[in-house]
A and B are shown apart, each in its own frame.
Chain A
Amino acid sequence: MGMDPGQRGGTSSAAAVAKAKAKAAGAARRKRAQDLRAAPPAAVDGWAAQGTPASPRPQFDNIPEFQWGVDVAGERAIQDALSAAQANTPSPWGPNQQGPAPSSFGAGGPDAETVFNDEMAAIQAAFAARGDGSGAGGADLGDGGAAAAAAAAAAAAKAEAAAAAKAEAEAEAAAAAEVERLRLAGLEAEAAALEARQQECIVGGGTWENGQCTPGGVGEETDPFAAQKQACAQNNGMWNSATNTCTPIFDGAGAFDPNVGVDPAIEQQAADQISIVEKTLQTKNRSIQQALQAGLLSISDAQTAWDEARNEIYQDFLTEQGVLTGAFDTEQEETASRRTTDRAALLQTLNAAGVDSGLVGDELAMIDEMYRGGATEQKDYLDAMSRIGEMSNADRRMMGEGIFGGYEQNLRSGMRDLGLATNFEGADESQLARERGLQALGMSDFTGVDPETLYAALYAGVDVPGMAYGTSEREAGQEWASGESALDRALATDKFDESVRQFNWLGGRQDAATRTGISQWNKEFAREGSQYDTAQAQYQDALDLEAGQYATGREDIAAALGLEAERFELGREMDPASEFAGMTTAQQREHQRLTAKALASAGADVKAGSLLSQVASVMLLEGREPSEVRMMMDKVDGYLADTMRSDDLSDENVLAALMALEQTPIIMQVLGLMESDQMLDLIDTMDGTEAIVQDAVSTTGSAEPVGGAWTGTPDTGDPWDYKEPGGSWLTPNWPDSNKVTVYGEKYSPQAWPEGLTKAQAEQHIKRQLTAGLEWERMSQTWKRADQALQPRS
């Protein structure tokens, strides 16, 4: 990573001198190479002429000029290979190329054609190892012959020689620049030492590069392939230590034509796309290289700035250090001078006083020695510090080399990776181009699309086969529709013609047809009239039937209602005059139990049916609580006690008490429930209580004799003949039953039509019975005697 002096702007005289020395060394090296080149051919020719593999092989590999990548070595190796091929002798190419076994030569060996083919293969391998990028040329060797191979080898060798000369010139310039930098930094001694080492390296046959000497002398004990390896690396090759050959690395620029056969038709099909890929690849690689070079220049500029700044600062440091140490030295010198003067004056004073200064000469000498010792130590210390400070400059320079060299290396690595990725991408794209070429050629016959269009469609993403199929389908559809349309038009024309013909024909037969139609219409009208009558009769019959069914349904409903009424009456007290009218037996018993319990709770010991028990019953029926009954009993007891009527709870006492307590509603309800005999007994007992009866009767509005009997049947003397007039308060008007009794059988209202009186209903029932019908209670309908349900036995 030495700096390019051309980039630093000019060279100094020292650099020119160094370059002249380097050129002189290069000239000497080339002269030595020519001498070496002049000597071995005889041995080679002699070795080749011997035609035996047992002969000693010339050791060209140990001579730097005869290594791979150098013009002389390349040309000579190829010439030797060609000579060996022509002479059917083992190839001397390469240090590790083994020739055929000795037994394979002579009469018992392989034939000439086999040996020649082997030699051709060796030459091709040599070209491949040279990395000249002409794979096609190598491939052509098998077909073109040795002359073409020799010409290609000579051209490649010249190119390599030019590259080697350029590299050598660059190395010399870099070495000179390195010396110049040291001189600019004020390190003349270091620059001289470096220059001496460079000259020593060059004189020794080595190569000075990157601050190091690469030995290249003849007969050295170092790596015999060091020069080949270096040349291989400089030419972007990869050294194979197993075969000691250099394999070129494709740099991505230019056409890459590996020796792999691909169908020429495919190559031709994909040629344009591959050209695009390679053009893109070249553009990318050029951009990468430009970026790399620009980055390297920027890093080099930074390093130059560092070197300049470092040198400037170092010069300042040296100046200041020199000033300080110089001032200290001056101070010491002045001090020494002053001490000498002072010492002389002192000795002169002693001498003037007549004193021999030698009396204390040893002491003065000791004093001087001690003083000089301290001064020397101080000076040595400062000198050591100065030298240490000067040494640090080299350290800083190396540090800069490491830092900026590291950046350069990182940049190179990154760009190399990028270039590698770009080359891989280009290879993938080329692969894709060829694969699509293969696809286009293979699918062309099947799809009916030409390969060029199909190839373009594969890249454009257009479904050309689908489009072609759609086009053919559309054209077929159009043709079919056109035919159909023509047929439709012809058919429409025929229809029109037929209609015209029929119209004309109908025009001729219109009168007869009209008459026939009228006659047929009349017949149809008459037939429809008959059908209408029939339908009307059927409708009437349906109406009748519907009415019958309706009546039957009504009767069924009425019968069902009657049956429900009878079911309601079952288990209930249906006598309207009864105290328990409408109550079931269980309800009656419950009510009697509650009444007795209420009376017992009141302490009244009365018999069932007495007035007091009826009063209690009525009160409970009205919804009053047993406590109210008890209070009523207490009031009755109180009244009887106040009126001295004893504690007899007879009906008359209770009635008198209730009247006195103005419990008229209870009295009226109780009397309404009382049997006639019981009521008469009560009246007889209640002597002198007419006013009470009159008041009660007066509410009904009926006429009654004052103090006499009620208006009713005439008094015949027999009290059992008397009957109460209707509507009196003793005989209230209960609603009559709605049933009719005929021949001892009760019939519910469902047995006769609605609206009839009972007499009419009785007559209707008798007619039904006369007609042979029977009233079925279960269904509440009239049925024939044979259809009526038979009662269970």
Chain B
Amino acid sequence: MAFDPYAKQNVADPYGTSPSQRLSTALTGLSMQEKGLRRQDQRSRFDLAKAYKKRTPQIEANFAQRGLQDSGMRNLALAESASGFERQRTEQQSGLDAALFNLVAQRMGLYGGYAGSRFEDALGATSSRAETAARIREAMA
């Protein structure tokens, strides 16, 4: 096999001329996505907590207006509200986890591709060297 050390170079892309540069560019993009996801998660989490905080007094007020401040219904309503809040917060967390998982998977894929490229270059170079050495020896003999 004829080894071409410049086969993976792309002079038409200033941001991705070499495989390592392309890897860096891709990783930078993924980092930015991760930061964006985390900011969005924090906003959602904040809004969720804010809504829960607003909702609890409203429940208390509603039951107080009906004279049910210490009733079982009031307690169940507050517990249901807390449970709903927890469920939404968990879903939010699951969404963030899934997004981060995807980013990790993409990063692994990028690293895997990059390592594969390096493996390919190394094998091409060394096997070409071995082939040339064998050919030279046969020609010399």
Contacts and interface: CB of A to CB of B under 8 A. Distances in A.
Interface of A: 287-288, 291-292, 294-295, 298-299, 301-303, 305-306, 309-310, 313-314, 316-317, 320-321, 324-325, 327-328, 331-332, 335, 339, 342-343, 346, 349-350, 353-357, 359-360, 363-364, 367-368, 370-371, 374-375, 378, 381-382, 385, 389, 396, 399-400, 403-404, 407-408, 410-411, 414-415, 418
B82 A314 contact: no
A293 B88 CA distance: 72
A331 B100 contact: yes
Contact of B79 (A288, A309, A357, A407): A357
Contacts of B93: 335, 339, 371
Contacts of A350: 78-79, 82
B24 interface: no
The 3 lowest CB-CB distance pairs between A and B, nearest first, are: A295-B137, A298-B133, A309-B122
Given A298-B133, A313-B118, A374 B97 contact: yes
Greatest chain A CB density within 10 A among B87, B118, B137 is at B137
B82 A382 contact: no
Contacts of A301: 129, 133
Contacts of A408: 134
Contacts of A357: 79, 82
A363 B88 CA distance: 12
Contact of A353 (B78, B85, B134): B78
Contact of A291 (B89, B96, B119, B140): B140
A78 to B, nearest CB: 38
A305 B123 contact: no
Interface string B92-131: 0110111011001101100110010011001101110111
The CB with the most chain A CB atoms within 10 A, among B85, B100, B141, is that of B141
Given A332-B97, A359-B76, A339 B130 contact: no
B137 A291 contact: yes
B47 interface: no
29 contacts: A298-B136, A299-B130, A299-B134, A301-B133, A302-B133, A303-B130, A305-B122, A306-B123, A314-B115, A320-B115, A324-B108, A327-B104, A335-B93, A350-B82, A353-B56, A354-B75, A357-B79, A357-B82, A359-B75, A359-B79, A374-B97, A374-B98, A378-B97, A378-B101, A389-B108, A403-B130, A404-B130, A407-B133, A415-B141
Contact of B136 (A295, A317, A321): A295
Contacts of B131: 407
A305 B126 contact: yes
A354 B74 CA distance: 10
Interface of B is mostly: helix
B127 A302 contact: yes
A328 to B, nearest CB: 5
Interface residues of B, number: 45
A294 B137 CA distance: 7
Contact of B141 (A292, A309, A389): A292
Contact residues of A: prevailing secondary structure: helix
Contacts of A353: 56, 78
A414 B56 CA distance: 88
Nearest to A353: B78
Contacts of B76: 359
A302 B134 CA distance: 11
Contacts, number: 167
A110 to B, nearest CB: 54
B4 interface: no
Given A316-B115, A360-B80, A367-B87, 8 more contacts: A295-B137, A302-B133, A320-B115, A350-B79, A354-B70, A355-B82, A359-B80, A364-B83
A567 B82 CA distance: 172
Given A328-B104, A357-B79, A382-B105, A310 B85 contact: no
A389 B82 CA distance: 44
A381 B101 CA distance: 10
Contacts of A389: 108, 112
A313 B97 contact: no
Contact of B133 (A299, A306, A415): A299
Contact of A363 (B83, B111, B127): B83
Nearest to A284: B141
B98 A378 contact: yes
A400 B83 CA distance: 59
Contacts of B127: 302, 306, 403-404, 407
Contacts of B105: 381-382, 385
Nearest to A302: B130
B87 A363 contact: yes
Nearest to A415: B141
Nearest to A405: B130
Nearest to B52: A346
Contacts of B107: 324
B100 A305 contact: no
Nearest to A422: B141
Contacts of B111: 317, 320-321, 324
Contacts of A415: 137-138, 141
B138 to A, nearest CB: 5
B104 A325 contact: yes
Nearest to B27: A320
Given A288-B141, A294-B137, A407-B131, A321 B79 contact: no
B141 A291 contact: yes
Contacts of A359: 75-76, 79-80
Nearest to A417: B138
B133 A295 contact: yes
A360 B79 contact: yes
Contacts of A343: 86
Contacts of B85: 346
B25 interface: no
A310 B90 CA distance: 43
